[in-house]
Amino acid sequence: MISLYHVTKVFKHKGEFRYIAKDVSFTIPRGESIGLIGRNGAGKSTLLKLISGTIKPTSGQIIRRANVSFPLGFQGSFNPSLTGEQNVRFVARIYGQDTEDLVHYVQDFSELEKAYYMPVKAYSSGMKARLAFGVSMGINFDYYLVDEITAVGDKNFQKKCRQVFQEKLQSSDIIMVSHSTAALKDYCTTGIVLEDGQLTYFPNIDDAIRMHDENMARR
């Protein structure tokens, strides 16, 4: 379970304060796959980072009574001067994983071959995505945070990614941000609409999508 208590997140942009969350109190239970929906710029990706602990709220508290992933495929935490393998070792230590097991899993999953031992700064965006997805799938989380599922690699690699991800979701939950209505309906059963710094929960993803569409029509 993930609980937000009076969480506020605000940025100052061009002399004005921009609220991502305004005094939000909300509990995300286990056993639900949730689509996080909102207009462009509403702060969906920032909210995922708050939930993961990647960034901190301006005020309030987030309590995680579960093992929560970093946003799936997030590449920003890689040290560009380290090799792919060295980055995986670093992540393994942070998350208390068996280092050798994770190193071998990601090496096999990513199919980077010799590039696995090259500095990440030499990687293409696709290679970084393979490494990041491999790391995400190599660790068992209670919640997987997903900020847009992107197609990585060839069709066979994409198929492998989908299969492994679906296997993870047999025992784990998902909180997903996506502009694709089809993806939200495929992976999510419930929805949260983020609008003007407030969260509204819907027990049916279709109702959440409908509310988002109505919000967009009013703008």
pLDDT tens profile 120-178: 999 998 898 889 889 989 999 999 998 877 666 678 888 888 888 889 888 999 999 98
Distances (CA, A) of 18 to 14, 23, 61, 180, 210: 10, 13, 19, 26, 25
78-97 per-position pLDDT tens digit: 899 999 999 999 999 999 99
Task: Answer yes or no: are the C-beta atoms of 62 and 7 closer than 8 Å.
Answer: yes
The pLDDT value given to residue 1? 87
**Residue extents of the structural domains in the chain:** 2-69+175-217, 74-139
Of the candidate CATH numbers 3.90.400.10, 3.30.420.10, 3.90.1150.10, 3.40.50.300, the domain formed by 2-69+175-217 belongs to 3.40.50.300
pLDDT of residue 151: 62
Residues 40-81: tens digit of each pLDDT? 888 898 999 999 998 999 999 999 999 998 887 666 678 999
- CA distance between the termini of the chain: 34
Confidence class for position 119, pLDDT limits 50, 70, 90: very high
pTM: 0.85
Task: Check residue 77 and give its pLDDT.
Answer: 74
